[in-house]
Amino acid sequence: MKLLVTGGAGFIGSHFIRHLLAKYPDYQIINLDKLTYAGNLKNCEDYANSPNYRFVQGDIADKKLVDELAAEANVIVNIAAETHVDNSIEGPAVFLETNVMGTQNLLEAAKNHAHGRFVQVSTDEVYGDRLDGSFTEIDMLSPSSPYSASKAAGDLLCLAYKRTYGTPVLISRCSNNYGTHQYPEKLIPFFIKKLLAGEKVPLYGDGSNVRDWLHVTDHCKAIDLILHKGKIGKTYNVSSNEEHSNLEITKRLLELLNLPEDRIEFVKDRPGHDLRYSVDASKIKSELGWVPEVKFEDGFAEMVEWYKNNQK
């Protein structure tokens, strides 16, 4: 298999490539990454010299480059995305450029070069929030932020390409990932960085917003299964059933770092802040045999230690 993996210098992308190289030593992998603020080649240092791996700096919004690289591959896994909700509220345009037009460029290239599979790595945020129960793959999309709206648009483009052109798309929608190598803008690494710097952490509202937390290595194994065994045209939710409020997560961090709760500073809530995300992962479990393997307590503690030892 010859794969074009986009966003491979980012958090999830670098872990996914690491997983592929370890499990499939005969695969050829091209890593296309723009190296925005959230991409870092240090994430790829341990496999940078692998003979079947190549890095290309570039933008999925660059149609000519995407087509040239797609000509060398037979599979695309699209992990590249603008993802930070706060940034999308401040400046939505770049989210549309990358998450919508960039995805369309990749789909067009996959169509033109008759690729065998196209995996769109998406998010549970496209469903919006709900106070009880969990979303299934057939539920209506109701995104709340420019970020999640742009990801929903990308997903719908994928399904449209499947229907219109027969492009062999698959979609994964995961819950919040945690683990090593994540850029410190998302809640957990951002809070760890501030706490280690002796600062208080700004917690939106009363901290009652709930997220499901999925270890990044479990997510990579799910993408692997979807890539190899998923049914073309289908969507798979990926979650670990580890739901915790943002306040619970913050208190857990304080406990692991032996810090008092007065390091929490409650701040004005974010506009349109989703209350709770929850997706039902029964489909990927029953159809593809996926199960999360990393215990939350173990993965969380390991992650905190990594950030303690890898502060800039």
State the average pLDDT for the chain: 96
For the segment 170-198, the average pLDDT, to the nearest whole number, is 95
- pTM of full prediction above 0.85: yes
CA-only gyration radius of the chain, Å: 19
In a domain, 89, yes or no: yes
Q: Which residues pair with 78 in a beta bridge?
A: 6, 120
Position 295 scores a pLDDT of 96
Position 301 scores a pLDDT of 95
Task: Enumerate the active-site residues.
Answer: 124-125, 147
In the sheet where 210-215 sits, what is the strand order?
Answer: 176-178, 210-215, 243-245
In a domain, 288, yes or no: yes
Contacts of 127 (CB under 8 A, 6+ apart): 135, 139, 140, 141, 142, 143, 173, 277, 279
- pLDDT at residue 312 tops 90: no
Residue entry with tokens 């919006």: 128
In a domain, 256, yes or no: no
- pLDDT at residue 173 tops 90: yes
In a domain, 310, yes or no: no
For the segment 71-82, the average pLDDT, to the nearest whole number, is 97
**What is the residue type of 105?**
N
Contacts of 21 (CB under 8 A, 6+ apart): 27, 29, 47, 50, 52, 53
Cα–Cα distances in Å, from 155 out to 143, 172, 173? Answer: 12, 9, 10
Alpha helical stretches, state H, the chain: 11-23, 63-70, 85-90, 93-96, 103-112, 146-165, 187-196, 216-229, 246-256, 282-288, 296-309
Q: Residue 84's pLDDT band (boundaries 50, 70, 90)?
A: confident
Position 310 scores a pLDDT of 87
In a domain, 69, yes or no: yes
In a domain, 255, yes or no: no
Query: How many domains, in total, are found in the chain?
Result: 1
Write out the residue range of the structural domain in which residue 146 sits: 2-179+215-241+276-293
CATH number where 166 lies:
3.40.50.720
For the segment 119-145, the average pLDDT, to the nearest whole number, is 97
Tens-digit pLDDT profile for residues 30-71: 999 999 999 999 999 999 999 999 999 999 999 999 999 999
Give pairs for 265-269: CB < 8 Å, separation 24+.
265/200, 265/201, 265/202, 265/203, 266/203, 266/204, 266/205, 266/206, 266/207, 267/202, 267/203, 267/204, 268/204, 268/205, 269/204, 269/205
Strands 117-123 and 176-178: unpaired
For the segment 127-156, the average pLDDT, to the nearest whole number, is 97
Q: Identify whether the C-beta of residue 284 lies closer than 8 Å to the C-beta of residue 225.
A: yes
Tens-digit pLDDT profile for residues 223-280: 999 999 999 999 999 999 999 999 999 999 999 999 999 999 999 999 999 999 999 9
Residue entry with tokens 């079947």: 52
In a domain, 151, yes or no: yes
In a domain, 63, yes or no: yes
